[in-house]
Chains A and B, each alone.
Chain A
Amino acid sequence: MREFLIGKLSGRALPHEWFTIGGSIAFILLVVGAIVLITYTKRWKWLWNEWLTSVDPKRIGIMYFLVGGFMLLRGGLDAIMLWLQQALASGSSQGYLTADHYQQIFTAHGNIMVFFVAMAFIFGLINYIVPLQIGARDLASPFLNSLGFWLYVGGVVMVNMFFLLGGEYAATGWLAVAPLSGTEFSPGVGVDYWIWSLQISGIGTTLGAINFIMTILKMRAKGMTLWKMPLFTWGSLCSMIMAVTVFPLLTATIFLLFFDRYLGTHFFTTTGGGNPMMYTNLIWMWGHPEVYILMLPSFGVFSEIVTTFSRKRIASYTSNVLGMIGVSSLALSVWLHHFFTMGAGANVNAFFGVMTVLIAIPTTILVFTWIATMYKGMIKFSTPMLWFLGFVGLFAIGGMAGVILAVPPADFQLHNSLFLVAHFHTMVVGGVLFGIFAGLAFWFPKLAGFRLNERLGKYAFWCWIVGFLMAFTPLYVLGIMGATRRMDHYEASTGWQPFFIMALIGGIIIMIGVAMQLVQIIASIMQRHLLADKTGDPWDGRTLEWATPSPPPSYNFTSIPAVSTRDAFYEMKLDGGFKKVYEDIHMPKNTASGIYISIFAFLIGFGFIWEIIWLVVASFIGMLWCLIKRTFDDESEYTITAKEVKAREDAAAKLPSATKSRIQQKEEMGLIEFIRIVLSWAMSIVRRKR
């Protein structure tokens, strides 16, 4: 009976180690804190109606940023723990973590950074910006999009759930390679948490991607042909097409692993005719394209930034787009470079090596188009542009490392070494993350109504780039010294420790950069009146998102702009700007179905992890019911009449100009100014208490 009710759950699943107890306390404090805050400020209704059930891609985009930003801190904490262990655990010292715990941390770190940080930010940017750039009011399927977001949140909760129940995460590396991830070698629930967090969020990604492909293909403003689309939209389209192609493969692969673990099948086991090499193939058929799914939107972001801040149109738009298409197509046929060392024949290895080297062609072309865009431009070095300059340097280094790894005999020596780790961090941090930061700085005024503080942004950038070089240069060197990845301990005689310590120092500098970014956001909020963006076009932008006020109304455009050229808004400005016409607008209604379905999906996963079958069945029925109900709900739209639109726009235009705030300065504040203000504020509170 007990087994029927709660499956494998027992007192032993409760937290009892320092990190699970710590994690659980943090988890509970956060939830309780949020609940208290919302109740205290009486914001429940507002939160539910305006945000959680919203199908407005702008709101969903912001929610992606918030959750993703939070996960960035969570994954960053993991990173510091890893760096610290490696700096300590040399020779007779075993460091402060057990091997198993260390392995769980790097697994969680990888999963969180790829699925719950990078993907979240990419989806956030696409949600917010793509509809605006193509002149659309909403999405092809706002509901699918909302569902995708909530499944992502389900995955986020699942990946952190092991703190509360179970006490272990997968210790297999971020791809849970077989047979290590089978029950034979990983009997605990750690891999099950891995399975379900990726399964739930992965399905969300597929749904989100379907929606955005449809949106980009079907909902562009009149006159915007594919070849007039902004480059960020192009990058997003390529990325989403890749996602739709390969995420179902990930889902299928994980299901096979799940069958092995749960039903005792033998797809990837060492015995019973299983073939672990099959898993390696399947997971990389998804895994390689995945890194480019992250990269392509960033390429697009940088193209937008370099044109805007050079005040020129992109040089050779066609080459740029073909470059992105080329990268995406090649990315589907190079997966074997992740395991040249499995022992395939020379022809196979050489073929995949050459295919990989070919990817360098379209990527180099992108860089060339950016150089030509800056040529005879008038370049303004705002923070987005700084991230771009840093990106190109790092991307060149990481790309060269990638090509070296693509040469099979060289890869035999570098595979699974820290050189490889350095390669992909250079790409994912220098490429993807810098792209995201650049994009956030660039579009922040659009979504917040005020710019980010430039001074603090520049400090953050310099911390990041200096810290990055300090942290990852030693990893390239260590790889060449023969250090493998994922070591929780190494011999003192290797002479590696100084490099690991150097890497730790670099990591700390990066963390200072992160802190600086938080300070930047807070300082910008404090100075929002000074930094206000009243025109909706703070950078003299070129694409349609800048034709809307900042932040845009829920319907984005009063009337859908007519497009006849690339850089549509820029041309419009030459013609006297965007002219408002009022018309009836149909908008999708909010829905909570996505939330309910995601909760049920979460419970299905949870039920499977702990083998609580009734929960699985009940949740499955609940999920179906929600889906059916949603499908038959035909009142999913509402109308705003032209009169109402006009009234709203007039009201927005008449909004009293910003009231003067006490702490307003004439200049953007720096770090010292910020600390002074915070200190004096704290002092005043202390004094009042007395």
Chain B
Amino acid sequence: MAKRTKKSSSLRPIVLVVLGLCSLAGLVSLLLRDTDVALVNPKGYVATEQYKLLVTVTVLLLEIAVPTLLLFYFVAWKYRESNHNATYAPDITHGKLFSAYLWIIPSITALLIAIVLWPATHQLQPQKPIYANTDPMVIQVVAMRWKWLFIYPEQNIATVNFVQVPIDTPLEFQLSADETPMSSFWIPHLGGQLYAMTGHVNRLNLIASETGDFTGSSAEINGPGFAGMRFTTRVSTANDFYQWVNTVKSSGETLDAKEYQELLEPSEYNEPVLYSRSEEDLYGNMLMKYTGSHDHHTESE
């Protein structure tokens, strides 16, 4: 019924496509110069492990995807209508073995990924403390419209849109929210995010291994001020941290119930604020508003 027709050099489209992809890659790497690619530049154990996992999975995937794609485009090109050297065999059938291959190859890849995925998910469970035997430093976090309130229960200070932490110290961010839709607490340099929700405490354990300032944000949309809900995470040496705590303690206002109430008023693009003292149990009372009981209600099934 069908006959091979037309004759033309068919390498041209391939050359064009390869050139196009190369220039795309070139453009991207040009734009990437002098930028800080957060996920590739992790500053703590959690982010590092998550990055390694990302690379492992990507490599596993490429191992099947690259040969498959090359084969796909090669076959398409080889059996083009204008190629008179290619055989046309419309009636070939593929045996059982072929069908078996179809299923086996992707299954192996999926299995490998599953084998990586399962333990990694347990190892990197955010609720799990970084070191089993030391208690982490606790920072209570309240998502508000549209700012982050940080309460340091051990140091008895509080901050807004700024959080300073000591290096190499396991941290537990106890995430919650007050009069605010679901938000997501994310500091890409230190590690992945978790939701902050009213009436719940979500524990996010992180640790920093380098000093510096790293931006954090809400990754989940929560109203008009969402894009401005950014904060600076300052990682400093332990010494600098305690010095900073002392400076904060000796200056500024107190975070009492009244001030807290004012913070709850919606506002956008807030500058950092430091509170020398945080009235006791603000966090507990805030939770009680939603749960009706005083014990910290943790979400984990």
Question: Could you tell me the distance in whole angstroms from the C-beta of A416 to the nearest C-beta in chain B?
Answer: 4
A448 located at the interface, meaning its Cβ lies under 8 Å from any Cβ of chain B in the complex = no
Question: Could you tell me the distance in whole angstroms from the C-beta of A631 to the nearest C-beta in chain B?
Answer: 44
A590 located at the interface, meaning its Cβ lies under 8 Å from any Cβ of chain B in the complex = no
Tell me the B56-89 residues at the A interface (CB within 8 Å). Answer: 57-58, 61-62, 64-65, 68-69, 71-73, 75-76, 79-81, 86-89
A345/B79 in contact, CB under 8 A: no
Q: Quick one: CB contact mask for B80-104 with A, threshold 8 Å, 1 for yes? A: 1100001111101010001101110
B219 partner, pick from A316, A416, A489, beta carbons under 8 A: A416
Most A-side CB within 10 Å, residue of B38, B47, B73, B109:
B38
B122 located at the interface, meaning its Cβ lies under 8 Å from any Cβ of chain A in the complex = yes
Whether A404 contacts B94 in the complex (CB less than 8 A), given A341-B192, A341-B194, A489-B227, comes out as no
Most B-side CB within 10 Å, residue of A271, A360, A412, A540:
A412
Q: Return the chain B residue nearest A107 by Cβ.
A: B221
A545 located at the interface, meaning its Cβ lies under 8 Å from any Cβ of chain B in the complex = no
B68/A364 in contact, CB under 8 A: yes
B212 located at the interface, meaning its Cβ lies under 8 Å from any Cβ of chain A in the complex = no
Tell me the B265-281 residues at the A interface (CB within 8 Å). Answer: 268
Interface size for B (C-beta < 8 A) is 106
A228 located at the interface, meaning its Cβ lies under 8 Å from any Cβ of chain B in the complex = no
B131 located at the interface, meaning its Cβ lies under 8 Å from any Cβ of chain A in the complex = no
CB neighbours of B35 from chain A (8 A): 481, 494-495
B81/A378 in contact, CB under 8 A: yes
Of A73-81, A470-478, A519-527, which binds chain B? A470-478
A312 located at the interface, meaning its Cβ lies under 8 Å from any Cβ of chain B in the complex = yes
B137 located at the interface, meaning its Cβ lies under 8 Å from any Cβ of chain A in the complex = no
Question: Could you tell me the distance in whole angstroms from the C-beta of B78 to the nearest C-beta in chain A?
Answer: 9
A357 located at the interface, meaning its Cβ lies under 8 Å from any Cβ of chain B in the complex = yes
Q: Return the chain B residue nearest A385 by Cβ.
A: B76
Whether A400 contacts B227 in the complex (CB less than 8 A), given A341-B194, A350-B122, comes out as no
CB neighbours of B226 from chain A (8 A): 99, 103, 486-487
Cα A371 to Cα B79 in complex, Å, equals 11
Tell me the A415-438 residues at the B interface (CB within 8 Å). Answer: 415-417
Cα A177 to Cα B123 in complex, Å, equals 30
B284 located at the interface, meaning its Cβ lies under 8 Å from any Cβ of chain A in the complex = no
Whether A396 contacts B54 in the complex (CB less than 8 A), given A99-B226, A311-B2, A369-B102, comes out as no
A354/B117 in contact, CB under 8 A: yes
B184 located at the interface, meaning its Cβ lies under 8 Å from any Cβ of chain A in the complex = yes
CB neighbours of B32 from chain A (8 A): 477
Q: Quick one: CB contact mask for B194-230 with A, threshold 8 Å, 1 for yes? A: 1101111010000000000001011111111111101
B166 located at the interface, meaning its Cβ lies under 8 Å from any Cβ of chain A in the complex = no
Cα A440 to Cα B223 in complex, Å, equals 39
CB neighbours of A540 from chain B (8 A): 1-2
Tell me the B89-142 residues at the A interface (CB within 8 Å). Answer: 89-90, 92, 94, 98-99, 101-103, 105-107, 109-110, 113-114, 116-118, 120-128
Cα A172 to Cα B224 in complex, Å, equals 9
B99/A319 in contact, CB under 8 A: yes
Cα A270 to Cα B143 in complex, Å, equals 13
A412 partner, pick from B64, B89, B126, B289, beta carbons under 8 A: B126
A560 located at the interface, meaning its Cβ lies under 8 Å from any Cβ of chain B in the complex = no
A407/B37 in contact, CB under 8 A: no
Tell me the A481-537 residues at the B interface (CB within 8 Å). Answer: 481-482, 484-491, 494-495, 498-499, 502
Tell me the A309-343 residues at the B interface (CB within 8 Å). Answer: 310-313, 315-316, 318-319, 339, 341-343
Cα A562 to Cα B220 in complex, Å, equals 56
Tell me the A439-496 residues at the B interface (CB within 8 Å). Answer: 466, 469-470, 473-474, 477, 480-482, 484-491, 494-495
B168 located at the interface, meaning its Cβ lies under 8 Å from any Cβ of chain A in the complex = no
Cα A361 to Cα B101 in complex, Å, equals 12
Q: Return the chain A residue nearest B37 by Cβ.
A: A481
A374 located at the interface, meaning its Cβ lies under 8 Å from any Cβ of chain B in the complex = yes
Q: Quick one: CB contact mask for A338-365 with B, threshold 8 Å, 1 for yes? A: 0101111111111001100110110011
A380/B81 in contact, CB under 8 A: yes
A365 partner, pick from B24, B54, B87, B106, beta carbons under 8 A: B106
Whether A482 contacts B199 in the complex (CB less than 8 A), given A407-B116, A412-B50, comes out as no
B188 located at the interface, meaning its Cβ lies under 8 Å from any Cβ of chain A in the complex = yes
Cα A318 to Cα B103 in complex, Å, equals 12
Question: Could you tell me the distance in whole angstroms from the C-beta of A680 to the nearest C-beta in chain B?
Answer: 32
B116/A400 in contact, CB under 8 A: no
A412/B106 in contact, CB under 8 A: no
Whether A413 contacts B113 in the complex (CB less than 8 A), given A403-B61, A491-B215, comes out as no
B192/A480 in contact, CB under 8 A: no
Whether A378 contacts B88 in the complex (CB less than 8 A), given A344-B300, A353-B121, A484-B186, comes out as yes
A350/B117 in contact, CB under 8 A: yes
Cα A376 to Cα B91 in complex, Å, equals 9
B79/A180 in contact, CB under 8 A: no
Question: Could you tell me the distance in whole angstroms from the C-beta of A95 to the nearest C-beta in chain B?
Answer: 10
A177 partner, pick from B124, B181, B268, beta carbons under 8 A: B181
Question: Could you tell me the distance in whole angstroms from the C-beta of A571 to the nearest C-beta in chain B?
Answer: 12
Whether A271 contacts B219 in the complex (CB less than 8 A), given A361-B103, A378-B81, A477-B28, comes out as no
B92/A350 in contact, CB under 8 A: no
CB neighbours of A248 from chain B (8 A): none
B58/A404 in contact, CB under 8 A: yes
Q: Return the chain B residue nearest A570 by Cβ.
A: B1
B39 located at the interface, meaning its Cβ lies under 8 Å from any Cβ of chain A in the complex = yes
Cα A348 to Cα B121 in complex, Å, equals 10
B195/A343 in contact, CB under 8 A: yes
A400/B62 in contact, CB under 8 A: yes
B28/A413 in contact, CB under 8 A: no
A376 partner, pick from B50, B79, B184, beta carbons under 8 A: B79
Whether A276 contacts B182 in the complex (CB less than 8 A), given A345-B300, A486-B221, comes out as yes
B120 partner, pick from A172, A392, A409, beta carbons under 8 A: A409
A319/B54 in contact, CB under 8 A: no
A407/B300 in contact, CB under 8 A: no
Whether A413 contacts B39 in the complex (CB less than 8 A), given A173-B221, A311-B2, comes out as yes
CB neighbours of B109 from chain A (8 A): 360, 364
Q: Return the chain B residue nearest A275 by Cβ.
A: B199
Cα A358 to Cα B103 in complex, Å, equals 12
CB neighbours of A48 from chain B (8 A): none
Cα A313 to Cα B109 in complex, Å, equals 28
B94/A185 in contact, CB under 8 A: no
Cα A417 to Cα B54 in complex, Å, equals 15
Most B-side CB within 10 Å, residue of A271, A312, A354, A482:
A482
Cα A310 to Cα B86 in complex, Å, equals 13
B2/A410 in contact, CB under 8 A: no
Tell me the B154-182 residues at the A interface (CB within 8 Å). Answer: 179, 181-182
B31/A499 in contact, CB under 8 A: yes
CB neighbours of B194 from chain A (8 A): 341-343, 412
Q: Which 6 residue pairs spanning A and B have beta carbons closest together?
A: A412-B192, A482-B188, A482-B38, A364-B106, A495-B35, A180-B181
Q: List 14 A-B contacts (CB under 8 A).
A: A99-B225, A103-B221, A271-B198, A310-B79, A341-B194, A346-B121, A353-B117, A364-B68, A376-B88, A376-B90, A399-B65, A407-B120, A409-B120, A417-B219
Chain A interface (Cβ < 8 Å from any Cβ of B): 98-100, 103, 171-173, 177-180, 185, 270-271, 276-277, 280, 310-313, 315-316, 318-319, 339, 341-350, 353-354, 357-358, 360-361, 364-365, 367-372, 374-381, 389, 392-393, 396, 399-400, 403-404, 406-417, 466, 469-470, 473-474, 477, 480-482, 484-491, 494-495, 498-499, 502, 540, 573
